[in-house]
Every structure is written in C-alpha cells, then in structure tokens.
Amino acid sequence: MSGKDELVGIRTAALGKVQAAESSAQLDEIDTQYLGRKGELTLQLRRIGSLSQDERKDFGQSVNDIKAELSEAIAQRRQALDAGESKAKLAAEAVDVTLPGRFYQTGRPHILIETIEKIKRIFIGLGYEFVETPEIEDYKYNFEALNYPPEHPAMDEQMSFYINDDVLLRTHTTAYQHRVMPYRKPPMRVATIGKTYRYENVDATHGHTFHQVDCFAIDHDISLTDLKGTIQQFAVEMFGMDVNVRFRPDFFPFVEPGAEFAVTCFLCKGEGCGVCKGSGWLELGGAGLIHPNILEKAGIDSEEYTGFAFGFGIERMPMLEHGIKDLRLFMENDLRFLRQL
Ligand code: FA5
C-alpha cells in the first residue's frame, strides 16, 4: 500500500471513531492514538525521510492537513458531547412545579398537654409559681399533714395505691402543700399540676390515673372573695366568656370552710343542656380557706395570715369542650382518637 493510501485509511478510521465516541474520555484516547507523541499520524511524519524529494512536501502537507482535520473533529465532537451531557443533566434536575406537594405528617401536643399548658399559662399570669413534687408520695404529705386524722372516713373517698405502709401514689396534687409551705415565707402563691392515682372502679368519668391542678395563696387578709375572684378569672380566661362561679359547702379536712365549686356551663351559658345535665353548671373541684392547723404545722402564724386553696381535675375540661364521652381515651394512645382533635 502506498503512503497516501495508508493515510486515507488512517483518516477514515480516525474520523469514524470520533463520530462514534460517546464520552470525553474516549475522545482523549483517540487523540492519543492518532495525534500523540507515538500516535499513528505522528509516526507517518517520521516516514518522510524514506520518501523521494518530490513526494516529501506533498506527503508532509497531507499528514498535517489530516492532523488539523482530526483535531477539529475531536474538538467539535467534544463540544457536542458536553452540550448533550448538560442538557441531560438539566433534564434530570428539572422540577415539575405542577406536581402536588408531598404531605408531611407533623406531630402535635396531646390534647391533655395542651389543656395543661393553657391552665399553667393562666395561673402563671395570675402570679402563681409552679412547682413539681413526687407522684410517689409519703403518706405523711398525702394525708397526715393535710389534717386527715388516722382512719378518717374521708380517706375512703380517696382509695389509694400503696407501695408500702408509708408510701403511696399520690391521690391528689394537694399533697404538695407541705412540701412547699414550711420552706417559704408569706406572701406566697404556689401551684402544681400533674398525675394523680386512685384505686377505684374505672368508668367513663373516673380513671385510676388522672390529672389535677392545685393552687394556694397565703397573705394578710385573704378571704373567700379572693378565692372566688381567682377562680372566676381563671374560668373567664379558660372558657372565654363571662362566667359565674358557684360555691356549695363541702368537706375537705385541710380547708375551713370547704366548698365544691362549679362554673357556668360554657356550652349553654347557664341555660341547661345535655353537657351540664340541665343544671347550667359544670362542677370543677374543691376549694376553701386553708385550715389554721395546716398553716400552724407549716410554721405560719394563723392569727396573722390566712390563705385559700383549691384543686380540680383536668380531664373534665377537654371532655366537655370536645364532647369526649370516655376519659379512658386520653391514656390509650389510639391514633384514631388523637387525630380527631
Ligand atoms: C380533691 O382531690 C381535693 N384535693 C381538691 C381540693 C384542693 C379541695 C384544695 C380543697 C382545696 P376531689 O376528690 O373532689 O378533691 O377531686 C377533685 C377533682 O378531681 C374532681 O372534681 C374531679 O374533677 C377530679 N377527679 C376526682 N377523682 C377522679 C377520677 N377518678 N377520675 C378523674 N377525675 C377525678
């Protein structure tokens, strides 16, 4: 084969490879194979010495033309591949703004936690400091320090889960009083909120585990009017309306006089409805003026200071507000229930 024929073969093969190349890396290989220091076209130039004087110029010119043509073809192919690649990349990264958004399920506080937080906010706004005391409580704080004489029938109303003779699960949040009172000086306004436990027959409105809030205030000249005003203010902020508060005599060994209190039904505004069973009132809890014995036991002079205390259950409020018929639903963690609220 003449040198010229060989050149034509190399050119055809090289240009064919360039067109078939699918990547920059393949083009690099073709570049090395033909145009590199030991490339096929470079080697062709070295043949020039073996050619006649006449042929040399012509042959050299042809090799250089093919080299230039091949370089140009490689550059063009590289450009085309780059453009294709970035187009494909753009296509892959494209966002279809017409697609519907992804739905993320977000958590939210349990309805009881929401109620507790709201109650706390209101009492903090009224100047109460919240404290936490144990749920596993000494008999001493749960009953004895609260003026319950041994074997007093009132203790039957709060059937208890005993851990041993001296320790039980607190039956009411009022157990916090003597964990706090002896260690502070009046004036004081203190509150606590949390779980309480009673060993009783569980039904739709009575749980063995439920929540209470308790508050007390001690200062000079505290009277029943202060108690009533505080509960009234709480009810207005909690239920968002102009409520009345009703007190009826009741007995708790740690208050004198003692009362149960109710607020105007927030659904029927006192007219009488299914929720308040036609009475127009919703019973919330117990209250009264702190018994002088309790103050004295805490080292507070009952001649100089008086105080009020009250406590109520939490579950009742969201039950009434959302028409929840069974208090056990709060503690069962059934998502079908929780998602409705
Ligand atoms: C008490 O627990 C007193 N410690 C309240 C108190 C505090 C009176 C300070 C005076 C001064 P009582 O046993 O009535 O009182 O309970 C108060 C509220 O807790 C009830 O009105 C009710 O709303 C709620 N409660 C009582 N037992 C249960 C129960 N088993 N399940 C759900 N809620 C309950």
Domain limits of the chain?
Answer: 3-92, 111-338
pLDDT of residue 24: 87
DSSP 218-286: EETT--HHHHHHHHHHHHHHHH-S---EEEEE---TTEEEEEEEEEE-TTTTTS--TTTTTSSEEEEEE
Q: Which atom of ligand 1 is nearest to the CA of 311?
A: 7
For a substitution probing ligand 1, which of 158, 252, 291, 317 has the most ligand atoms within 8 Å of its CB?
Answer: 252
Distance of CA 96 to the CA centre of its chain: 31
For a substitution probing ligand 1, which of 172, 195, 247, 329 has the most ligand atoms within 8 Å of its CB?
Answer: 172
Residue range 111-338 forms a domain whose CATH class is: alpha beta
pLDDT of residue 155: 62
Walk along the chain (341 residues) and give the pLDDT tens digit of each residue: 567 788 888 999 989 999 998 888 889 999 998 888 888 888 888 878 888 888 888 888 888 888 888 899 999 988 988 888 888 888 888 888 898 888 888 888 999 999 999 999 999 999 999 999 999 999 999 999 999 887 766 566 568 898 998 899 999 999 999 999 999 999 999 999 999 999 888 888 889 999 999 999 999 999 999 999 999 999 999 987 678 889 999 999 999 999 999 988 877 888 888 778 889 888 899 999 999 999 999 999 999 999 999 999 999 888 877 878 888 899 888 888 888 87
Q: Which atom of ligand 1 is nearest to the CA of 283?
A: 21
Q: Which of 251, 246, 250 is nearest to 227 (CA)?
A: 246
Distance 68 CA to ligand 1 centre (A): 98
Q: Which atom of ligand 1 is nearest to the CA of 212?
A: 19
pLDDT of residue 314: 96
pLDDT of residue 126: 97
Distance 172 CA to ligand 1 centre (A): 7
pLDDT of residue 156: 60
Phi and psi at residue 306, in whole multiples of 5°? Answer: -130, 170
Instruction: Tell me if 140 sits within 8 A of 172, measured CB to CB.
Output: no
Q: Which atom of ligand 1 is nearest to the CA of 284?
A: 21
Among protein residues, the one with the nearest Cα to ligand 1's atom 2 is 172
Distance 316 CA to ligand 1 centre (A): 11
Tell me the β-bridge partners of 286: 260, 311
Q: How far apart are CA 209 and CA 6, in angstroms?
A: 98
Buried b (16+ CB within 10 A) or exposed e, 113-152: eebbeebeebbeebebeeeebeeebbbebbbebbbbeeee
Among protein residues, the one with the nearest Cα to ligand 1's atom 29 is 206
pLDDT of residue 153: 62
Instruction: Tell me if 7 sits within 8 A of 44, measured CB to CB.
Output: yes
| Residues lining ligand 1, Cβ inside 6 A | 172, 174, 198, 200, 206-207, 210, 212, 214, 252, 255, 285-288, 309-313, 315-316, 327
Q: Which atom of ligand 1 is nearest to the CA of 208?
A: 30
Distance 284 CA to ligand 1 centre (A): 8
Among protein residues, the one with the nearest Cα to ligand 1's atom 8 is 286
